[in-house]
């Protein structure tokens, strides 16, 4: 650790001297969880002699069963990644028209809608939990609307009961992008049981992973057959190709990693909780800092991310300056999610004029801080000391 002094010109024009503590080695916003090597090889060994390493092998079947139990749902399908799972969910429902969604998400959500030939319709978000604002959904519904695709952003559950009410009233499908929400419970029940389908991403950077991987959870058992067809070229028999599909199957190495890592989910969530509690205790009450509310007692959080909103006026400097100063001191944060999906280059100016005040404000202020099970509480303290020092010197 060494002191890092740096003069910076603040937004107000005056010069301030920061005395920040630089970490000896880089700390990234996340770090892939690696289980004990021997546990992974023990799983792999099971499949070595029978030469069956993909296409619904034994580990795949076992993983599916374990997830049905863990997620407390009737049906689980495994796919090669979360994105193709989301596209598969949309294709399974055979939708055509408009899908109401959020601009405050990862590119995958919107690209799934567009790749399936559907039109995304962007709804503003709630200023407290950053999820789709349920009070603004109905005004976006018209005769072309076919579904709502909300995201449980940072693992905080959406207002699922209100969304269900709206979907029933207008006869819309609901697909949850639950990529962030593995292990989350609402009212004592797994979040996986809401909507027509929910998608969980098991990408290496996520809280629980299978190297890459995607999970669909759903109540309607009729979906199983179509999902199986879609993810395997539409092939239903040795001489039958029933529909146009693609290849989105999970292989046995992925399932092996998933099976091993599933044993560590609870421990890892508990470690993340301690880190979150530390961050909250040190950053709570600092002017210009807004944290998520982790104290709603009907929610069991998974602590998958630690987002902080920095208000440039009250905090003293902008989110971008905090991001830059922390980065110079080996603390790598992410502007997650910035830009909004409506501002992606690939959409050109198509969605640029929309009235999404909360989404715009939050996307301009948000920074996610490092969080992963092995992150030490001492490092969390240094990160927070630096943030407090930036605030102190910026006034
Ligand atoms: C990670 C993620 C996805 C995509 O999942 P992959 O497994 O990486 O394909 C989709 N939506 C959100 C919100 C995500 O964070």
State pLDDT tens for residues 123-147: 999 999 999 999 999 999 999 999 9
Report the pLDDT value the prediction gives residue 3, as an integer from 0 to 100. 59
91 and 232: one domain?
yes
* Span 273-281, average pLDDT: 98
Domain count, the chain: 2
Instruction: Please identify, by atom number, the ligand 1 atom nearest to the C-alpha of residue 81.
Output: 7
Confidence of residue 382 (pLDDT cuts 50, 70, 90): very high
User: Whose CA is closest to 288, among 260, 319, 312, 320?
Assistant: 312
Percentage of residues in the chain with pLDDT exceeding 70? 96
DSSP 73-128: -SEEEEES-HHHHHHHHHHHTT--SEEEE-SSS-HHHHHHHHHTT-EEEE--B-TT
* Span 235-239, average pLDDT: 96
* Span 23-45, average pLDDT: 97
227 and 357: one domain?
no
Residue 28 has pLDDT above 90, yes or no: yes
* Span 44-63, average pLDDT: 95
- For residue 34, which phi and psi values (nearest 5 degrees)? -115, 120
* Span 17-46, average pLDDT: 95
The span from the CA of 181 to the CA of 79, in Å, is 17
Confidence of residue 7 (pLDDT cuts 50, 70, 90): low
Pick from 262, 286, 309: which residue ends a domain? 262
205 and 324: one domain?
no
| CB crowding 104-136: b at 16 or more within 10 Å, else e | bbbebbbbbbeebebebbbbbbbeebbbbbbeb
Q: Whose CA is nearest to atom 6 of ligand 1?
A: 82
CATH number at residue 351: 3.90.1150.10
296 and 234: one domain?
no
pTM of the model: 0.96
Confidence of residue 199 (pLDDT cuts 50, 70, 90): very high
Instruction: Please identify, by atom number, the ligand 1 atom nearest to the C-alpha of residue 85.
Output: 9
Instruction: Please identify, by atom number, the ligand 1 atom nearest to the C-alpha of residue 203.
Output: 7
257 and 272: one domain?
no
Report the pLDDT value the prediction gives residue 19, as an integer from 0 to 100. 87
CATH number at residue 250: 3.40.640.10
**Please, what sign has the CA dihedral across residues 280, 310, 372, 205?**
positive
295 and 174: one domain?
no
Instruction: Please identify, by atom number, the ligand 1 atom nearest to the C-alpha of residue 213.
Output: 7
Confidence of residue 31 (pLDDT cuts 50, 70, 90): very high
Residue 213 has pLDDT above 90, yes or no: yes
49 and 121: one domain?
yes
Cα 313 to averaged position of ligand 1 atoms, centre (Å): 33
Report the pLDDT value the prediction gives residue 395, as an integer from 0 to 100. 81
* Span 185-214, average pLDDT: 98
Report the pLDDT value the prediction gives residue 235, as an integer from 0 to 100. 98
User: Which residues make Cβ contacts (< 8 Å) with residue 262, sequence separation at least 6?
Assistant: 63, 66, 67, 70, 208
Judge whether 358 and 334 are in contact, CB under 8 Å. no
Domain that includes residue 71, residue range: 37-262
Pick from 210, 234, 262: which residue ends a domain? 262
Q: Whose CA is nearest to atom 2 of ligand 1?
A: 179
Residue 237 has pLDDT above 60, yes or no: yes
The span from the CA of 27 to the CA of 368, in Å, is 13
Q: Whose CA is nearest to atom 5 of ligand 1?
A: 82
Report the pLDDT value the prediction gives residue 49, as an integer from 0 to 100. 87
216 and 114: one domain?
yes
19 and 95: one domain?
no
User: Whose CA is closest to 303, among 359, 380, 250, 217?
Assistant: 380
Q: Give residues (CB < 6 A) around ligand 1.
A: 81-83, 105-106, 108-109, 151, 177, 179-180, 201, 203, 212, 214
Report the pLDDT value the prediction gives residue 15, as an integer from 0 to 100. 52
Cα 201 to averaged position of ligand 1 atoms, centre (Å): 5
70 and 160: one domain?
yes
Report the pLDDT value the prediction gives residue 9, as an integer from 0 to 100. 58
Pocket test for ligand 1, best of 30, 78, 83, 153 (most atoms within 8 A of CB): 83
Cα 8 to averaged position of ligand 1 atoms, centre (Å): 36
Report the pLDDT value the prediction gives residue 10, as an integer from 0 to 100. 55
Confidence of residue 8 (pLDDT cuts 50, 70, 90): low
Cα 214 to averaged position of ligand 1 atoms, centre (Å): 9
Cα 112 to averaged position of ligand 1 atoms, centre (Å): 10
Report the pLDDT value the prediction gives residue 50, as an integer from 0 to 100. 86
Cα 82 to averaged position of ligand 1 atoms, centre (Å): 5
Average pLDDT over the chain, rounded to an integer: 96
Cα 316 to averaged position of ligand 1 atoms, centre (Å): 33
164 and 76: one domain?
yes
**What is the tens place of the pLDDT at every residue in 158-195?**
999 999 999 999 999 999 999 999 999 999 999 999 99
313 and 192: one domain?
no
Report the pLDDT value the prediction gives residue 56, as an integer from 0 to 100. 96
Pick from 262, 286, 308: which residue ends a domain? 262
Residue 105 has pLDDT above 80, yes or no: yes
């Amino acid at each position: 650790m060494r002191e890092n002094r740096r003069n910076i010109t603040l937004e107000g024009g005056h010069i301030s001297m920061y005395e920040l503590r630089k970490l000896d080695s880089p700390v990234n916003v996340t770090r892939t969880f690696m289980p004990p090597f021997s546990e992974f090889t023990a799983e792999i060994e099971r499949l070595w002699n029978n030469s069956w390493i993909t296409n619904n092998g034994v580990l795949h079947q076992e993983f599916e069963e374990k997830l049905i139990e863990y997620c407390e749902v009737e049906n689980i399908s495994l796919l090669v990644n979360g994105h193709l799972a989301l596209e598969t969910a949309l294709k399974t429902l055979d939708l055509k028209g408009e899908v109401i969604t959020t601009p405050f998400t990862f590119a995958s959500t919107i690209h799934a809608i567009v790749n399936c030939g559907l039109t995304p319709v962007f709804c503003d978000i709630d200023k407290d939990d950053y999820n789709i604002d349920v009070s603004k959904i109905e005004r976006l519904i018209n005769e072309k609307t076919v579904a709502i695709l909300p995201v449980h952003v940072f693992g905080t559950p959406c207002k699922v009961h209100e969304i269900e009410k709206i979907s029933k009233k207008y006869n819309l499908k609901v697909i949850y992008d639950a990529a962030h929400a593995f292990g989350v419970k609402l009212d004592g029940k797994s979040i996986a049981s809401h909507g027509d389908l929910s998608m969980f991403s098991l990408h290496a950077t996520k809280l629980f992973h299978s190297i890459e991987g995607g999970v669909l959870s759903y109540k309607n058992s009729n979906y199983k057959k179509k999902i199986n067809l879609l993810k395997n070229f539409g092939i239903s028999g040795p001489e039958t190709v029933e529909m146009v599909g693609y290849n989105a199957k999970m292989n046995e190495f992925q399932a092996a990693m998933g099976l091993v890592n599933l044993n560590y989910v609870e421990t890892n969530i508990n470690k993340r909780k301690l880190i979150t509690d530390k961050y909250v205790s040190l950053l709570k009450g600092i002017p210009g800092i807004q944290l998520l509310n982790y104290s709603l007692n009907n929610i069991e959080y998974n602590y998958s991310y630690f987002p902080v909103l920095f208000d440039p006026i009250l905090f003293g400097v902008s989110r971008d300056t905090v991001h830059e100063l922390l980065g110079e001191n080996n603390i790598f944060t992410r502007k997650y999610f910035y830009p909004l999906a409506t501002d992606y280059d690939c959409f050109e100016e198509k969605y640029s004029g929309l009235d999404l005040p909360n989404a715009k404000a939050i996307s301009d202020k948000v920074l996610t801080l490092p969080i992963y099970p092995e992150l030490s509480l001492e490092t969390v303290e240094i990160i927070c000391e630096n943030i407090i020092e930036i605030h102190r010197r910026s006034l």
